[in-house]
């Protein structure tokens, strides 16, 4: 997981594996595996490819 600075996680949300959360984001919903989420409220902007398989 890669985290930006000054982000907030509100409530009991599930953060998946290999997730990138952008700086200043506010996470209010679950984030799936292998995604990039940014914004207020955070939304998924891209799904990444898991190259470990």
| pLDDT score of 53 | 57
User: Is residue 53 situated within a structural domain?
Assistant: no
| pLDDT score of 7 | 86
Q: Decide: pTM greater than 0.85.
A: no
Query: In three state form, how does the secondary structure of 1-53 look?
Result: CEECCCCEECCCCCECCCCEECCCCEECCCECCCEEEECCCCEEEEECCCCCC
Q: What string of pLDDT tens digits covers the 53 residues of the chain?
A: 677 788 888 989 999 998 999 999 999 999 999 999 999 999 999 998 766 65
User: Is residue 10 situated within a structural domain?
Assistant: yes
User: Is residue 36 situated within a structural domain?
Assistant: yes
Under a CB-based contact definition with an 8 Å cutoff, are residues 7 and 23 in contact?
A: yes
Q: Read off the CATH number of the domain in which 14 is found.
A: 2.160.10.10
């Amino acid at each position: 997981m890669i985290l930006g600075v000054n982000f907030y996680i509100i409530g009991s949300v599930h953060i998946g594996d290999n997730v990138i959360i952008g700086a200043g984001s506010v996470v209010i919903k679950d984030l799936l595996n292998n995604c990039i989420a940014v914004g207020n409220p955070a939304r998924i902007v891209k799904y990444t490819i898991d190259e470990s398989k």
